[in-house]
A and B are shown apart, each in its own frame.
Chain A
Amino acid sequence: MSRATRRAFLRATGIGLVAGSVSRTLPADAQAEGAGAAVDDMVLIPAGTFIMGTTQSQADELAARHGYHVSWFSGEVPTREIELPAYRIDRFPVTCTQYADFCKATGHAPPMGWRAGSPPERLADHPVTSVNRADARAYAAWAGKRLPTEAQWEKAARGENGLIFPWGDEFDPDACQFRRDPLAPAPGTAPVAAHPTGASPYGVMDMVGNVLEWCEDSPGPGAGFLKGGCYLFEEIVNLRAASRIMSGFDNNPLAFYGFRCVREVA
């Protein structure tokens, strides 16, 4: 995205870049919703049903086309219609700047690699990484929020009708941060607002690629769901909104794990 295009996008979404970090316009109703509301930019996901998961025939087709044994998709099959009450979800993954504010306010240990409690300046508006699920939950609690369930994350990413990717059913390499060239070094994270064409039907951004995002629920004790793929991934199968990536050990603060938060609507 060119600088001019990016500025136009930021204006359109109410986001301004201030001193290299993301500064968001605060919705009036969010101001009363919690201690961390000063950094809020949340998107309302209306109450109602949505299609979660993948059909068996879709899984069969994915397996055949991409060379997988179909059992690799067993966690997301079959599709099911899920009813969710309304909620708000962060428009973007939590950035390094936001996480630094949390660490400074609470004394929470910053991620590995930060100096004097601050991220490298060039990463200020990138998603925070190297956080485990306890870190993510601590941030969410401080912000008056919590982590999304897998279902909440998936509805925000693919809308009510089961889009394959947030932006549609065809993969768009310009809509997310992923390993575009398998032979090249991994690209690293991108600013959370770097891929405006990756918006979900609700306008939630950066859901696919960049960082895998922690969810509140788990496949088992000590494990956790992660959604959305990341900058290390090159296989578009793993960049679908329904793709169920998991952590076997949710105390892992890996360099491609990040998160965003949700808040219930009263």
Chain B
Amino acid sequence: MATITLHPTPGAMALGIRDIPAFPGEGFGAGWPESIGDAARAVWFGNITPERRDLGDGAWEQTGKRDGEVSYRITFTATEDTVDVQQSVTNLSDRVWEQSLAFNCFQCGSAPSIQDHECLRHYVGLDGEPRRLIEIPRQFGPRPTVQLYSVEGQPLGRDIPFVAGFAATPDVVLEGWFAIVSRDGKRLVATVSKPTLFLFQNMEYSCIHAAAGFGRLAPGETGEAESRLYFVESSLVDWHARVRDEMVAARQVP
């Protein structure tokens, strides 16, 4: 089966995702990373220009650095229904980062079969079951189209400075994935990280995020995390079983 193709935008953190077997003729975008580093003082994309290297077989490596603060290395690898992202982040500052993150945007607004500015086909996991996002409490903040969610096994959003700053986190704890089901109900896209530190969505752009967490990093330390984007022909229930298996399996890898 053909694999998905990746198309980095030179000089920008944007990545086009095309030739997707489950979504013929449609394209998606990824902003990777939109923000990275210390969860209390993350560096936004405008302050780091990425450098890229073609690794062959459609894979790409991206690196970026802000002297005295952060450096990162990311590799993107596509299969027929996923884009896998390996990320490492190094603390170049003289501060201890109590929490560190890569805030990664999965942009779905340009794919007509998925685009969903009303959140009617957005799904999250609660108490072991997929649930429509509109069933989940919403906390309107000063930027009311965005919403951030705490994730199982991670600190609550209010205890993560990056998240708390948006004042838009309802009192609910979700599984570490976000999905949008297609209009025909037969396909879906999703984002998940291992581990996911928190979730984010912006209905204005129809984008979803599963921010990768790297935990506590002392000066000079490097953290690793993995993210995956799914583009699958599947029911939500079947995919949910798959992602839970893959997340558990990934945790067992040293």
Is B146 positioned at the interface, with any CB of A under 8 Å from its CB?
yes
Contact B120 A235 (CB under 8 A): yes
**Assuming A219-B140, A219-B142, A249-B143, is B118 touching A254 (CB within 8 A)?**
no
Residues of chain B within 8 A of A39, CB atoms compared = none
Contact B132 A248 (CB under 8 A): no
Complex: how many Å from CA A71 to CA B137? 6
- Cβ distance B129 to chain A, nearest Cβ, rounded Å: 15
Contact B117 A246 (CB under 8 A): no
- The stretch among A53-61, A122-130, A149-157, A182-190 that forms the contact with chain B is A182-190
Near A by CB (< 8 A), chain B positions 128-163 give 132, 134-146
Contact A67 B138 (CB under 8 A): no
We find that the number of chain B residues with CB closer than 8 angstroms to chain A is 24
- Cβ distance A253 to chain B, nearest Cβ, rounded Å: 12
- Cβ distance A61 to chain B, nearest Cβ, rounded Å: 15
Is A69 positioned at the interface, with any CB of B under 8 Å from its CB?
yes
Is A75 positioned at the interface, with any CB of B under 8 Å from its CB?
yes
Complex: how many Å from CA A71 to CA B115? 23
Is B79 positioned at the interface, with any CB of A under 8 Å from its CB?
no
Is A252 positioned at the interface, with any CB of B under 8 Å from its CB?
yes
In the complex formed, the residue of B with least CB distance to A70 is B137
Is A106 positioned at the interface, with any CB of B under 8 Å from its CB?
no
**Assuming A220-B141, A220-B143, is B112 touching A182 (CB within 8 A)?**
no
- Cβ distance A177 to chain B, nearest Cβ, rounded Å: 15
Residues of chain B within 8 A of A66, CB atoms compared = 134
Is B57 positioned at the interface, with any CB of A under 8 Å from its CB?
no
Contact A72 B145 (CB under 8 A): no
Contact A183 B140 (CB under 8 A): no
**Assuming A75-B140, A234-B120, is B135 touching A68 (CB within 8 A)?**
yes
Residues of chain A within 8 A of B170, CB atoms compared = 71
Contact A248 B146 (CB under 8 A): yes
Cβ-neighbour of A182 out of B142, B183, B204 (below 8 A): B183
Complex: how many Å from CA A224 to CA B53? 40
Is A113 positioned at the interface, with any CB of B under 8 Å from its CB?
no
Give the one of A69, A75, A235, A247 with max B CB within 10 A: A69
In the complex formed, the residue of A with least CB distance to B185 is A183
Complex: how many Å from CA A66 to CA B132? 12
- Number of CB contacts from chain A to chain B under 8 A: 67
Near B by CB (< 8 A), chain A positions 151-187 give 182-183, 185-186
Contact A71 B143 (CB under 8 A): no
Contact A248 B144 (CB under 8 A): yes
Contact B204 A252 (CB under 8 A): yes
Contact B144 A75 (CB under 8 A): yes
In the complex formed, the residue of A with least CB distance to B145 is A248
Near A by CB (< 8 A), chain B positions 214-239 give none
- Cβ distance A221 to chain B, nearest Cβ, rounded Å: 7
Contact B144 A246 (CB under 8 A): yes
Cβ-neighbour of B138 out of A71, A186, A235 (below 8 A): A71
Near B by CB (< 8 A), chain A positions 208-258 give 219-223, 232-235, 238, 246-249, 252, 254, 256
Is A74 positioned at the interface, with any CB of B under 8 Å from its CB?
yes
Residues of chain B within 8 A of A222, CB atoms compared = 143
**Assuming A252-B204, A254-B204, is B135 touching A223 (CB within 8 A)?**
no
Residues of chain B within 8 A of A220, CB atoms compared = 141-144
- Cβ distance A215 to chain B, nearest Cβ, rounded Å: 13
**Assuming A222-B143, A248-B145, is B132 touching A72 (CB within 8 A)?**
no
9 contacts between A and B (CB under 8 A): A67-B134, A68-B134, A71-B138, A71-B170, A72-B138, A219-B144, A234-B118, A248-B202, A256-B117
Residues of chain A touching chain B, judged by Cβ–Cβ distance below 8 Å, are 66-69, 71-72, 74-75, 182-183, 185-186, 219-223, 232-235, 238, 246-249, 252, 254, 256
Which A-B residue pairs are the 10 nearest by beta carbons? Answer: A220-B142, A248-B143, A248-B145, A246-B144, A71-B137, A71-B138, A68-B134, A72-B138, A69-B137, A248-B146
Residues of chain B touching chain A, judged by Cβ–Cβ distance below 8 Å, are 112, 115, 117-118, 120, 132, 134-146, 170, 183-184, 202, 204
Apart from A67-B134, A221-B142, A248-B143, what 4 extra A-B contacts exist at CB < 8 Å?
A182-B183, A220-B141, A223-B142, A246-B145
